[in-house]
């Protein structure tokens, strides 16, 4: 079993760190919030009094932070950059969802100093983090992937090697842009059906068995009451917040800009989620987008 430093113990990082403890690893955990650290200590982990202390003398270092500026600050440009303190044989796994450019830049800055850094963003939400069933999309070398896999398997079910440094973030942005397009299209179509007198459950079933079938119809129907146990049947509470989808679509737009890729569908989805967020729905599950159509 390994010694793992863990930085960023929020909604996702907290349960992920607890799953590492359950997997038998020694976890040295740090967050800016003392309460978040206390929850890991309660679960059998060790509390660290600083990021430097969590990163010192560990086999793996996992970070789960809000955005690229936090990751860059922690490892490269902050007051006490962790690249100054980690052992050369420590593998750093950053699971934060950040822009691919920052992931590549931080990995390159580490490589210049002989430090191993890979990107490993996740899909599966808080439920997946608690259950240990996340999907990891990793970017790094074959060697890094092979070393990280057993540790990631304590926190996830599907562990993918997307390609070289930054590829995990590219895969995550592509997947979430696809999800946003599918959900927007599903909301639009169901809304049109409802306004034309269709029962949404009947229409959903017809499309599920026809060529309009997709993930939103299968497991995440946006219309309340059509499906049990999904956010739409719980006042759009829980699930994946509009704010997070909006953030991820911003990262997808950055990618399209940098590569001169045409993304008219992704851009339209981003505009829809932006409007929905501006109307005060940022804290609701993203399937609540259907209200934008139904209110119009």
| Active-site residue list | 172
Shortest reach from residue 27's CB to ligand NAD, in Å: 14
By CB under 6 A, name the binding residues for ligand NAD.
7-13, 30-33, 36, 51, 64-66, 70, 74, 96-97, 122, 125-126, 240, 244, 247
CB of 58 to ligand NAD, least distance (A): 15
Closer Cβ to ligand NAD, 60 or 293, answer by number: 60
Q: Which long-range contacts (CB under 8 A, 24 or more apart) does 43-50 make?
A: 43/17, 43/18, 45/6, 45/17, 45/18, 45/20, 45/21, 48/5, 50/80
| Least distance (Å) between residue 193 CB and ligand NAD | 29
Q: Output 138 or 204, the one with its CB closest to ligand NAD.
A: 138
Residue closer to ligand NAD by CB (options 45, 125) is: 125
Phi first, then psi, for residue 29 (nearest 5°) are -110, 135
Radius of gyration of the chain from its Cα atoms, rounded to whole angstroms: 20
Complex with ligand NAD: residue 43 or 207, whichever CB lies closer: 43
Nearer to ligand NAD, 2 or 67 (CB): 67
Task: Give the shortest CB-30-to-ligand NAD separation in angstroms.
Answer: 6
Which residue minimizes CB distance to ligand NAD? 10
CA–CA separation, 286 and 243 (whole Å) = 8
Q: How far is the CB of 8 from ligand NAD (least distance, A)?
A: 4
Q: CA-CA distance, 216 to 268, in Å (whole number)?
A: 18
Choice between 75 and 293, CB closer to ligand NAD: 75
Closest distance to ligand NAD from the beta carbon of 150 (Å): 22
């Amino acid at each position: 079993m390994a010694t793992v430093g863990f930085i960023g113990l929020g909604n996702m990082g907290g349960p992920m760190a607890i799953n590492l403890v359950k997997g038998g690893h020694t976890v040295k955990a740090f967050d800016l919030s003392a309460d978040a650290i206390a929850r890991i200590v309660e679960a059998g982990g060790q509390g660290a009094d600083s990021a430097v202390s969590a990163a010192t003398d560990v086999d793996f270092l996992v970070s789960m932070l809000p955005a690229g500026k936090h990751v860059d600050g922690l490892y490269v440009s902050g007051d006490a950059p962790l690249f100054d303190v980690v052992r050369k044989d420590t593998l750093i796994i950053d699971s934060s969802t950040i822009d691919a450019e920052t992931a590549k830049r931080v990995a390159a800055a580490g490589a210049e100093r002989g430090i191993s850094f890979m990107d490993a963003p996740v899909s599966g939400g808080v439920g997946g983090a608690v259950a240990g069933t996340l999907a990891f999309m990793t970017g790094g070398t074959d060697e890094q992937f092979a070393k990280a896999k057993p540790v990631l398997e304590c926190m996830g079910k599907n562990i993918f090697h997307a390609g070289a440094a930054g590829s995990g973030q590219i895969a995550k942005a592509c997947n979430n842009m696809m999800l946003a397009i599918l959900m927007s299209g599903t909301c639009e179509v169901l809304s049109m059906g409802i306004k034309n007198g269709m029962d949404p459950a009947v229409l959903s079933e017809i499309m599920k068995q026809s060529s309009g079938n997709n993930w939103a119809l299968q497991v995440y129907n946006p219309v309340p009451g059509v499906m049990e146990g999904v956010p739409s049947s719980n006042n759009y509470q829980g699930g994946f917040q509009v704010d997070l989808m909006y953030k991820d679509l911003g990262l997808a737009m950055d990618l399209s800009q940098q590569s001169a890729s045409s993304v008219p569908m992704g851009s339209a989805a981003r505009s829809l989620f932006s409007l929905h967020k501006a109307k005060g729905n940022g804290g609701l599950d993203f399937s609540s987008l259907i209200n934008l159509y139904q209110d119009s």
